[in-house]
Structure 1
Amino acid sequence: MFARNKKKLSSPTKKGPINMLSFCVRRINFRSENVPKILLCRLAFAAFQHSCTARSGAVDSDDTKTLMQLCTDRYYIASGEINRHFLQRGASCGYGPLGMELRKNILEQWWNSVIGSRAEVFGISTLHTTMGTERNGRWKIVDAENLSQLLTQKELSKDQLLQKLQTLLQNGTSVRTSLLQGALEQYVPSLELVNRKLPFGLAETGMCFKQSDGTGCPDEVTLSSLVWFCSPRTSSQWLDYWARHRLHWWKKFAQGPSDFSCSDVAEEALGNGATRGVNIVYSFPWGLEPLETLWSLGDAELLQTHKGTRPKLQCRDGRKSVVPHVISVTGNIERGVLAYLYNSLQQVKKIDSKQRLKQRKVLKLHPILAPVKVALDMGRGATVELRQVCEGMLKEFLEGGISVWPGYLETMPTSMEQLNIKYDEMGVLFTVVINDGTLESGLLQVRSRDTTIKETMHISEVKNFVSRYISAAENI
């Protein structure tokens, strides 16, 4: 149960910041005193689901329906409309095995690109919940059972109810809505790392909660954050530097780099003391959506976090001592997952041997991001012996850090054409088929997702071949 932490609660009949569940429960409670508590919660959640469905319906184009169905069928997201709606609006959803691996790969590459780009960037980790602090705009966790019991106490007057609700919220646990605050709080302890010399940065990834349009309930999101501390005289140049850096990174893994672009935030949209903003955006079928946002925040946020300690905040800028300016780079990993899925989906038309027109769907994810590098399958032959060979190859691939899909464990017979369709839609880079001939000569077939060409090579060469291919793709 989440509620916004505000100094004063609004009446449910007015336009106020009361949580959706609290709002729905209070309305029902005042109108029908005999509604069971469990029904109140179900009604509130139904209202939330209805809002999700209504909001995302406008973006269900043919391409979107095709992609969402493929993601469900091929283990990227769990089944159910609610998971599709969450993913489409850039919120965390129920991921399947391949979706989790894709998100992990994106996070890992983001981390390597930021931490590995400069020696002055350091990784940190902060708590996503905070006890006993009051911060405006924070979401809070409260016990749903306690809230439900409170709302069903008939003897309470409206003022008494509001007072008890306020106390319940104040005693709740705050959850973070961004990673910026944690980096600002760790600024002073980090000064010894850099000998009080500018510039330097603090990077972090983790779960946060954000306001969901129209529902009043928070969405769970995975955010990436780089907070860069620099001299006031060079802050504009550093903002441009990081904007170019981040745009180049997003384009690096794209099949269609032109779908990623960079644009300045309009002046009327600047907030939180920002003097300038830049968005890294992706062109979805329904329009442009930001993947990462960069803000030039000046020194106000840092001074607000460390009140009364201005001398402790000063760093060396040449011969001068200055309070640094802050540049915040925040990315939405969920929206990044969706962008790369859209960008990699290709629907290729071809004519088969019987002159029938067929459409081949392929997730051409970059080799570094592809959740599965190799699929292992068996052809005709002695089943027990072939499976032993597959298990040996599986172990060898895993020891080399290469992700494998154990297709040989399938018990239902499947044609090679059906397997190729399945693995193309999963985005598997290579399909390795072991057959009777492999037992005799050590030769097997390796099919490429991107070219559909089948190569024959010796079993001892396959691991090195795949490793070299992935390494080459990483260095492009």
Structure 2
Amino acid sequence: MENLTKSLEFLTKSGFIKGLVEKNTIKNIKFLPLGTTLLDNIRNEWHKNKEELNSYPAIGIDEDFKRDSNKFSFIRSHTLRESLLHVKNHFQNDLPLIIKTENLFSAPRVVNDDETIQIDIPRETVLATNYFFTPSVALEKFYHIQRERKICWMKYSSNPSRYYLSDLVTEEVGGHKLQSLKIKSKLDSGDMEVEEIHFVPIAAMGLENESDFAMKDSRLLRDVLPTCIRSEFKLETTACALLLDSIESSRENTLAINRKIVPYQCGIFCYVEDNIMPSDMTDLSTHISNVIRKLGISALNLQKCHTNNPITLNTELCQMDRIGVPYCIILESETLRTGLMKLRSRDTTLSETIHITDVSNYLQKIFNS
């Protein structure tokens, strides 16, 4: 619990989250400005369709999502049913396909009797990817999705080995197997749930008007009741897991947040030894920040990072490390004459020299890889 308390204090000073730690539970949690931006970035990454299947958004956000003790009850969601009918009527009535749903639900009060880290928050956001497959291929796809989702979270971490799959839980219903498991992160302070994956044959659920879910199996040339494989994560809990991961995976006073979801991706510095900062230097910093932002890369160009004091330069670079900025561009006196500047890495604290004409292509390669 001591490590968790120290981590939370650091995240509060850095402007991400604040709360109280009690028995491996973060209570009274509040997301600060950088934490809110992190939530938005995680949601945006989830919205991007990186699947091989057609993916459709749900009809609206279910703001009164009912979540009972049955982990498979999501299949009874009115929003999911209506969204599937919409897809059938306007896009495709054959399998496979994906429907992405966003749900808000009131989380129950946390009672934490084990070593699992949890957050106590009144209302959480569930982001779910619902895959619909023909029953004959669904089990194979279930195992494939498990691997892919674990790899996805590993890519966001500086320590991929901390992610693992929990034991598979199986229930028998009407001759069908309903299965579920979790992806967890093994942190120094305890394990933390990142995602759940469910395997639900719709034929097992005894739904009213279950024919609404029937879709064409192109191999059998007839309608079948599909199997739904649901990959879901609680946005706020997962964000906390990634933040704690980024603390434990980096050096002291640094957040090693993945470059795709970090609130700010690049910082711009001007450092000259003269007492007066040349106006051409500040104009150049503005130009470079604008070029970077047009690439879709979030940049900070702060007046306090324009300095002639090496101590101030180092202090502000450390502050960038504290909020997780992965790269900083440093413009120096010679930059105006030669076009050469430094690109500093948060993770190594080392700098490499690049030319101003290479900035766009170089950063695009970094952030798109």
Normalising by structure 2, we get a TM-score of 0.80
8 Å CA contact 1:296–1:328 kept in 2: the answer is yes
Residue 315 of structure 1: which of 193, 196, 215 is its match?
A: 215
CA distance in 1, matches of 2:139, 2:124: 29
8 Å CA contact 1:447–1:453 kept in 2: the answer is yes
The answer as to 2:11 corresponding to 1:65 is: no
CA distance in 1, matches of 2:121, 2:263: 29
8 Å CA contact 1:179–1:223 kept in 2: the answer is no
Is the alpha carbon distance of 1:457 and 1:321 closer, same or farther for their aligned partners in structure 2, counting shifts above 3 Å? closer
The answer as to 2:234 corresponding to 1:339 is: no
Is the alpha carbon distance of 1:204 and 1:347 closer, same or farther for their aligned partners in structure 2, counting shifts above 3 Å? closer
The answer as to 2:4 corresponding to 1:102 is: no
The answer as to 2:16 corresponding to 1:76 is: yes
Instruction: Report how far residue 375 of structure 1 moved.
Output: 1.0
**1:186 counterpart SS class:** helix
CA distance in 1, matches of 2:163, 2:27: 16
Q: Deviations over 1:39-81 (max 9, x none)?
A: xxxxxxxxxxxxxxxxxxxxx322x23322222222223xx53
Instruction: Report how far residue 397 of structure 1 moved.
Output: 1.3
Letter matched to residue 128 of structure 2: S
CA distance in 2, matches of 1:367, 1:218: 27
Quote the sequence identity (%): 17
Higher share in helix = 1
**1:365 counterpart SS class:** coil
8 Å CA contact 1:180–1:225 kept in 2: the answer is no
Q: What is the match of residue 254 of structure 2?
A: 362
CA distance in 2, matches of 1:94, 1:274: 39
CA distance in 2, matches of 1:287, 1:256: 15
Higher share in strand = 2
Instruction: Report how far residue 425 of structure 1 moved.
Output: 1.9
Q: What is the match of residue 133 of structure 2?
A: 230
Is the alpha carbon distance of 1:340 and 1:312 closer, same or farther for their aligned partners in structure 2, counting shifts above 3 Å? closer
Q: What is the match of residue 122 of structure 2?
A: 219
**2:259 counterpart SS class:** coil
Q: Deviations over 1:72-91 (max 9, x none)?
A: 222223xx535x78x96599
Q: Deviations over 1:103-162 (max 9, x none)?
A: 2332222232xx3312332222424346xxx97969xxxxxxxxxxxxxxxxxxxxxxxx
The answer as to 2:182 corresponding to 1:251 is: no
Is the alpha carbon distance of 1:391 and 1:367 closer, same or farther for their aligned partners in structure 2, counting shifts above 3 Å? same
CA distance in 1, matches of 2:95, 2:151: 24
CA distance in 1, matches of 2:305, 2:25: 32
Q: Any stretches of 5+ residues in structure 2 without a counterpart?
A: 113-119
**1:68 counterpart SS class:** helix
CA distance in 2, matches of 1:269, 1:94: 40
Instruction: Report how far residue 296 of structure 1 moved.
Output: 2.0
Higher alpha-carbon Rg: 1
Letter matched to residue 19 of structure 2: E
Is the alpha carbon distance of 1:458 and 1:231 closer, same or farther for their aligned partners in structure 2, counting shifts above 3 Å? closer
**2:51 counterpart SS class:** coil
Q: Matched residue pairs, number?
A: 348
Q: Deviations over 1:143-197 (max 9, x none)?
A: xxxxxxxxxxxxxxxxxxxxxxxxxxxxxxxxxx979712133222222356432
8 Å CA contact 2:329–2:342 kept in 1: the answer is yes
Q: What is the match of residue 351 of structure 2?
A: 454
CA distance in 1, matches of 2:316, 2:76: 46
8 Å CA contact 2:267–2:328 kept in 1: the answer is yes
Normalising by structure 1, we get a TM-score of 0.64
Is the alpha carbon distance of 1:416 and 1:180 closer, same or farther for their aligned partners in structure 2, counting shifts above 3 Å? farther
8 Å CA contact 2:150–2:163 kept in 1: the answer is yes
8 Å CA contact 1:199–1:230 kept in 2: the answer is yes
CA distance in 2, matches of 1:302, 1:93: 38
Is the alpha carbon distance of 1:89 and 1:384 closer, same or farther for their aligned partners in structure 2, counting shifts above 3 Å? same
**1:345 counterpart SS class:** helix
Instruction: Report how far residue 451 of structure 1 moved.
Output: 2.3
Q: What is the match of residue 20 of structure 1?
A: none
Is the alpha carbon distance of 1:406 and 1:187 closer, same or farther for their aligned partners in structure 2, counting shifts above 3 Å? same
**2:12 counterpart SS class:** helix
Letter matched to residue 277 of structure 2: T
CA distance in 2, matches of 1:284, 1:226: 26
Letter matched to residue 337 of structure 1: A
Q: Aligned-pair RMSD on alpha carbons? A: 3.5
Q: What is the match of residue 146 of structure 1?
A: none
CA distance in 2, matches of 1:136, 1:458: 55
Tell which deviates more after alignment, 260-269 or 315-324.
260-269
Is the alpha carbon distance of 1:467 and 1:310 closer, same or farther for their aligned partners in structure 2, counting shifts above 3 Å? closer
8 Å CA contact 1:179–1:225 kept in 2: the answer is no
Q: What is the match of residue 120 of structure 1?
A: 54
8 Å CA contact 2:268–2:329 kept in 1: the answer is yes
